[in-house]
Structure 1
Amino acid sequence: MTTTTAPTRSWYKRNEIAVTPWLFLIPGIIFFALYVIFPIFQSFWISFHEWDGLGEKTWVGTANYERLLGGDRKFGISFWNNVRWLALYLLAIPMGLFISLFLNQKVFGIRLYKSLFFFPFVISQVVVGLVFSWFYLPNDGLFDIIVGTVGIDVSGGILGNPNTATYGIITAGLWPQTAYCMILYLTGLNAVDPEQVEAARLDGAKGARMLWYVILPQLKPATFIAFVVTIIGALRSFDFIAVMTNGGPFGSTRVLSFYMFEESLSEFGFRMGYGAAIAVVLFFLMLIFITYFLWSMYQDEKGAR
């Protein structure tokens, strides 16, 4: 009597369920490491050198950081402008929420309203910057015409005044950013549990109480993404400044990303080491905010278990 032995399965067949997802992930991980992780560490390394981008690097240790923190006026202006961007750009989140609540209604013509509010999101930031530059034109711009009808004189225009130029650019940035937050919340509202809403109605909840205790807790994932994307947008904010004021007037609208460009690649600088030091500071600012929100979400999830 002959006995047959079962054929030995290969290592891949034995571990197919565990290995197959990694086969799909590996290309993405490689590209992420090559184009994100490696440049981050490269920026750290360059920030400890004096380098014009072409010749030999000269090791200077922490000299670039000492110069940054030791009274560089341009860095101070850029940093506090970024703080203003952060504080005011976050207005896009509640504005996007309330617009999404309006657009989530079933009324006549709602698709047209959705298209109009969605429109700023699909336009390039450069185009948005140009449109608002024309809007703010002194004397001939629509903004000057509107405020002129109520007797307000904006001397030199919004973008020509160092005290108002930054706020004018932030307003331009809020337009598409609000549209993006609106899209996130509209997606989140589609996933809201109708049974919870109905149960809350039976308990007498409505209006602000319904929003605060029933709707918003279910929109936490959308809120988290909105916060992260808005913070990143506020901290980079390069396109609008480059198109609308090029850092002026008198350098009053510079932010860290624009100052980094000026130092590293513009005709004023080619100081790659100093530009990399600014990039590192900007990276840590983003990291602090994003880590805080990740930790907050983790604590919320942990408490809900």
Structure 2
Amino acid sequence: MSVTPTTPTETRSWYYRNQQAITPWLFLAPGILFFAVYVIVPIFQSFSISLYEWDGLGTAEYVGLRNYEDLYWEFVDRDAFFVSLKNNVIWLVMYLLAIPAGLFIALFLNQTVTGIRLYKSLFFFPFVISQVVVGLVFSWFYDPTFGLLNSFLGVFGLGPVNVLGNENLVTYGIIFAGLWPQTAYCMILYLTGLNAVDPEQIEAGRLDNAKGLKMLWYIILPQLRPATFIAFVVTIIGALRSFDLISIMTGGGPFGSSRVLAYYMFEVALSEYGFRMGYGAAIAVVLFVIMMGFIAYFLWSMYREEKGAH
């Protein structure tokens, strides 16, 4: 009776034969687990809580979509939810100015200029300081009695302007404060992207007499698409989840005119509105849907561009 010899591969364990495919997932497993527990699960919990009337301690009462109906009527009546959503739209539009500003600062800092390291440190500084510090600095800057802004206006004979006390100016004043560190962040993204720009393409562009804006538009910007995509996503998320500066600088005032969805959610769920957790969760769901809509759009746009390139 003959015995068929077994090859060394057949005698090895299943893991040994599939380790190239399995090992990356083993390294990713802790990160995936933490992401699922601390991100994915809370998202579904927010959806669930938004269907209840709950104060966070007692028994939750199922109310279906009533919290969303209340939000709708607040929007129709131009109440707190409408003001918060309108301010978020203003934040979103104005915050996008950080992207071109960061790009042009990065283009300047990418040059070989005397003292460029000092310039880089000065522009990088806003990114490393806390949002609380930024809020305090700009609160002093806008102060109508001793603030630098009104001291500067006084040189031209202009009266003091109470930016944070004016319902029409307060949102723009806070956004201007937020643009300071956000521009620094976009600058860092573009500086990293500029280091990866292919010098051969630049030389080829120069041979074709591409200079200035033509060089920027046709040669450099196409190579900065990954950095631009990240800058857009991060800036949009930062604009929609703005909370720190509003809490520090105005507390939602004056008369609730500077509140945004994230701050209104905090007020409703944990502050002066009687711990309405379900209502706060409904606001969080609306904010999440808006945020995911923008991110999905940019992901789809990038996918189409990559598909078209191949």
TM-score scaled by length of structure 1: 0.97
Where does structure 1 differ by over 3 angstroms across 4 or more consecutive aligned residues?
1-7
Cα deviation, residue 267, structure 1: 3.4
Matches within 5 A, 1:1-305: 5-6=6-7, 8-72=11-75, 73-155=79-161, 157-305=162-310
Distance, in Å, in 2 between the alignment partners of 1:75 and 1:267 is 15
SS of match in other structure, 2:163: coil
Give CA deviations for 1:66-87 in whole Å, capped at 9, x if unaligned. 0001135000000000000000
Which ranges of structure 1 fall in alignment gaps of 5 or more residues?
none
2:65 and 2:303 map into 1 onto residues whose CA distance is 35
2:167 alignment partner AA: P
CA displacement 1:58-107 (0-9 Å, x = unmatched): 00000000000113500000000000000000000000000000000011
For 2:296, what is the secondary structure of its paired residue? Answer: helix
- Taking only the aligned residue pairs, the percentage that are identical comes to 72
What amino acid is the match of 2:199? P
TM-aligned CA deviation for residue 2 of structure 1: 10
* Structure 1: distance between partners of 2:207 and 2:156: 49
In 1, Cα distance between the equivalents of 2:46 and 2:243?
18
- Which amino acid in the other structure matches residue 180 of structure 2? W
Please give the root-mean-square deviation of Cα atoms over the aligned residues, in Å: 1.4
Structure 2's unaligned 5+ residue stretches are none
Matches of 1:270 and 1:147, distance apart in 2: 43
Distance in 2, matches of 1:12 and 1:62, equals 49
Moved more, 266-275 or 76-85: 266-275
Aligned residues: 304
> Aligned partners of 1:92 and 1:238: how far apart in 2?
18
SS in 2 for 1:107: coil
Please give the alpha-carbon distance, in whole angstroms, between the structure 1 residues aligned to 2:32 and 2:63: 33
Distance in 1 (CA, whole Å) between partners of 2:157 and 2:172 is 21
Q: How many Å separate the matches in 2 of 1:5 and 1:169?
A: 73
Distance in 1, Cα, partners of 2:211 & 2:131: 38
The code of the aligned residue for 2:12 comes to R
